[in-house]
Structure 1
Amino acid sequence: MKICAVVFLLGVMIHGTTSMIHTLRYFETASSQISGFPQFVGVGLVNDLVIMHYDSNTKRLVPKQEWMNNVTEEEPQHWEDETQVCLNLEQAGKVSIENVKQRLNVTGGSHLYQWMKGCDWDDETDEIRGYYQDAFDGEDFISLDWTTQTWVASKPQAFATKLSWERNGVAARWKNYFDHVCAEYLKKFMRYGEKTLKRKELPEVWFLQKSSSSPVTCFASGFYPDRAVLFWTKDGEELQEDWGEILPNHDGTFQTSVSLDLSSVPTGDWGRYSCVFQLSGVKDDLITKLDPGLIRTNEKKYTPYIVAMACVLGAVVCALIGFFVYRRCKAKQLSPQSSEPEVMQELNPQPPETQ
């Protein structure tokens, strides 16, 4: 499973529920011979909102939300200490790229090594779940199976790393980090950004159609959080259509869309169809009845959609940079060659260098 395609169902889609799963993720990327791209990039996200950023050009880890500055009240040296962690990860990323190139018998060219690590917290049950994945040039290399606490080698060349990490107890070290350090910081960050992270915002909804013979698209943008679903109904019954992919907007909100082929349905029956939006924690559905007169078809009417999509593309680029960053910062953190620490104290600890 491609690491960039991993989608986590983080919320229980039951209206009125008070329970929610919150997430803290680090995406790190080390790169080699990519012109115009930093050799290392790292971002941290809480509930898919970017809260911190580091790259090898600035060589500083900085907060990306105003409320993240609150951490210095408890830890005055927090940003300096974590900047040093990222500097170490930057060097580790270079080592991991070379190690994997040798393992895969690859020479020269541009390459990326990426990591994703983090934890989920259920604020009702207090359950914690950790995640750790490595990838090389966009393909999974090795990952942690949380249930069995074993390593999964996605390529034959990663099997030696799996054996080394299992022999050196790397999974147990990460579990200790996820259960304690990662969980502690996630709860702390949720407290700092509570007003932002726990808000509920409903979207604007449009109907779009490229031509009279094209499917009708229901487009919803501007909602928060991303624990939401959008689907079509006919006479109040949900149609068996795929839920739309949720994408980020430039302002921290989200958007999604679902399409329906109505080419065989008489226009007079279109009023039997509705687009339904559900947001976790909000009791009432947002139901928009399909009215042919409200469908936007020409260039002018498509403007809001085009602008929104442009914003999404920008956000996706940022997300990809985040993926690159997390894999890079992760390469040095868990090195089975070094002596094992009793506990991983860093907020964003180093993974072992890939052997």
Structure 2
Amino acid sequence: MVDGVQMGYFIAVSKKILEPRREWARKILEEHPKHLHWYKHKCFEDQPNFFRELISSLKQQFNQSEGVHFLQRIDGCEWDETTGKVTGLTRFGYDGEDFIELDLKTLTWIALKPEAVNTKIRWDADRADLRDAQYFLNVVCPTWLKTVWNTARSSLQRKVLPSVSLLQKTPSFPISCHATGFCPGRAVMFWRKGGEEIHEDVYLGEILPNNDETFQMSADLSVLSVTPEDWGRYDCVFQLSGGVDIITNLNESIIRTNWKAPVSVTELSV
């Protein structure tokens, strides 16, 4: 991921698939074969074995003998183009909860759960691995990030406003304010009443990618909280990073739905 945009993905178990998701990502891998070689090694050889061993160890630590469990790893870096500051991150999660994180300042691991203490002790003792992680996050990752940025800058910086619609499945379902086709993938959406942002009876969705390098998101408002006389006081507000706000007033006439009122018995008999 680069600035919220998926660059590529891989599958290492059933099939060995490594595929760029953007044309600029494909171009980078073609022009920098060392990057492609590194990804293939990590994806198909290094990480699968590491994950198998770690998840087996964690199941023992958590006293788990069966069931499906999830191990997640985030490696990344942030580069401030203005100041030149680089911030690296490595964090593991297990079964949806943060487990352990690397502190680059002290070059030690931070146990984010009591069960992670034994893992911290073992990993803190491996100084060679810690130095490798430090070098990757402070040197390799930002170098690659700058390479990607120089190639993908125009694509990542482009701004496209979305089309915004009000959708509703049936009159008793929440009203969904849906925005699609926007870029970049940094935006917020919320509902207002009388000009004031509201949170109660509002359900915010995640920003999701479309197939054309744009994004979509939605914010649902429960109709149970909306009285007929208050309809005109509600607004859906979409804010794109660095762009203008798109404000959509809650108006029954513009709500899109496939629902049709059922035909009554009296109407059928006429």
Shorter-chain TM band? 0.7 to 0.9
1:134–1:142 Cα contact (<8 Å) kept: yes
Aligned residue identity for 1:126: G
1:151–1:171 Cα contact (<8 Å) kept: no
Does residue 156 of the first structure (1) align with residue 114 of the second (2)? yes
TM (norm. structure 2) is: 0.78
Please report how far the alpha carbon of residue 161 of structure 1 lies from its aligned counterpart in structure 2 after TM superposition.
1.6
Q: Aligned-residue CA RMSD in angstroms?
A: 3.0
- Residues 233 and 98 from structure 1, CA distance in 2 versus in 1: closer, same or farther, beyond 3 angstroms? closer
TM (norm. structure 1) is: 0.62
Please report how far the alpha carbon of residue 215 of structure 1 lies from its aligned counterpart in structure 2 after TM superposition.
4.1
| Structure 1 residues 102-156: Cα deviation after superposition (integer angstroms, max 9, x where no partner) | 3334335544433121122333333322222223344433223567654232333
- Residues 101 and 280 from structure 1, CA distance in 2 versus in 1: closer, same or farther, beyond 3 angstroms? same
Q: Which residue among 163, 168, 172 is the counterpart of 1:209?
A: 168
Whole-angstrom distance in 2 between the partners of 1:299 and 1:128: 52
Whole-angstrom distance in 2 between the partners of 1:228 and 1:64: 21
Identify the residue that residue 179 of structure 2 maps to in structure 1: 220
| Structure 1 residues 211-231: Cα deviation after superposition (integer angstroms, max 9, x where no partner) | 445543322222222211112
1:60–1:83 Cα contact (<8 Å) kept: no
Q: Which residue among 197, 208, 214 is the counterpart of 1:253?
A: 214
2:5–2:185 Cα contact (<8 Å) kept: no
Whole-angstrom distance in 2 between the partners of 1:72 and 1:266: 56
- Residues 181 and 297 from structure 1, CA distance in 2 versus in 1: closer, same or farther, beyond 3 angstroms? same
| Structure 1 residues 62-84: Cα deviation after superposition (integer angstroms, max 9, x where no partner) | 43322223335653343234312
| Structure 1 residues 209-250: Cα deviation after superposition (integer angstroms, max 9, x where no partner) | 344455433222222222111122334343355682323134
Secondary structure of the 1:84 match is helix
- Residues 99 and 259 from structure 1, CA distance in 2 versus in 1: closer, same or farther, beyond 3 angstroms? closer
Q: How does 1:278-297 map to 2 (within 5 A)?
A: 278-282=239-243, 284-297=244-257
Unaligned runs of 5+ in 1: 1-44, 301-355
| Structure 1 residues 166-207: Cα deviation after superposition (integer angstroms, max 9, x where no partner) | 343455543432222111111211222223222212222112
Please report how far the alpha carbon of residue 49 of structure 1 lies from its aligned counterpart in structure 2 after TM superposition.
2.5
Does residue 55 of the first structure (1) align with residue 11 of the second (2)? yes
Does residue 135 of the first structure (1) align with residue 96 of the second (2)? no
Identify the residue that residue 263 of structure 2 maps to in structure 1: none
- Residues 243 and 151 from structure 1, CA distance in 2 versus in 1: closer, same or farther, beyond 3 angstroms? farther
Does residue 120 of the first structure (1) align with residue 78 of the second (2)? yes
Whole-angstrom distance in 1 between the partners of 2:230 and 2:119: 60
Does residue 244 of the first structure (1) align with residue 196 of the second (2)? no
Aligned residues: 255
| Structure 1 residues 300-351: Cα deviation after superposition (integer angstroms, max 9, x where no partner) | 8xxxxxxxxxxxxxxxxxxxxxxxxxxxxxxxxxxxxxxxxxxxxxxxxxxx
Does residue 71 of the first structure (1) align with residue 71 of the second (2)? no
Q: Which residue among 190, 193, 199 is the counterpart of 2:149?
A: 190
Unaligned runs of 5+ in 2: 261-270
Please report how far the alpha carbon of residue 96 of structure 1 lies from its aligned counterpart in structure 2 after TM superposition.
1.9
Q: How does 1:96-115 map to 2 (within 5 A)?
A: 96-107=54-65, 110-115=68-73
Aligned residue identity for 1:96: L
2:186–2:240 Cα contact (<8 Å) kept: yes
Whole-angstrom distance in 2 between the partners of 1:149 and 1:208: 50
Whole-angstrom distance in 1 between the partners of 2:176 and 2:30: 48
The worse-fitting range, judged by mean Cα deviation, of 95-104 and 195-204 is 95-104
Aligned residue identity for 1:93: F
Please report how far the alpha carbon of residue 51 of structure 1 lies from its aligned counterpart in structure 2 after TM superposition.
1.8
Whole-angstrom distance in 1 between the partners of 2:110 and 2:157: 35
Identify the residue that residue 298 of structure 1 maps to in structure 2: 258
1:62–1:79 Cα contact (<8 Å) kept: no
- Residues 264 and 90 from structure 1, CA distance in 2 versus in 1: closer, same or farther, beyond 3 angstroms? closer
Whole-angstrom distance in 2 between the partners of 1:243 and 1:102: 38
The worse-fitting range, judged by mean Cα deviation, of 168-177 and 75-84 is 168-177
- Residues 85 and 209 from structure 1, CA distance in 2 versus in 1: closer, same or farther, beyond 3 angstroms? closer
Please report how far the alpha carbon of residue 162 of structure 1 lies from its aligned counterpart in structure 2 after TM superposition.
0.9
Higher relative contact order (CA 8 A, sep 6+): 1
1:230–1:243 Cα contact (<8 Å) kept: no
| Structure 1 residues 22-78: Cα deviation after superposition (integer angstroms, max 9, x where no partner) | xxxxxxxxxxxxxxxxxxxxxxx2223222233224435343322223335653343
Runs of 4+ in 1 over 6 A off after TM superposition: none
Report the identity percentage: 39
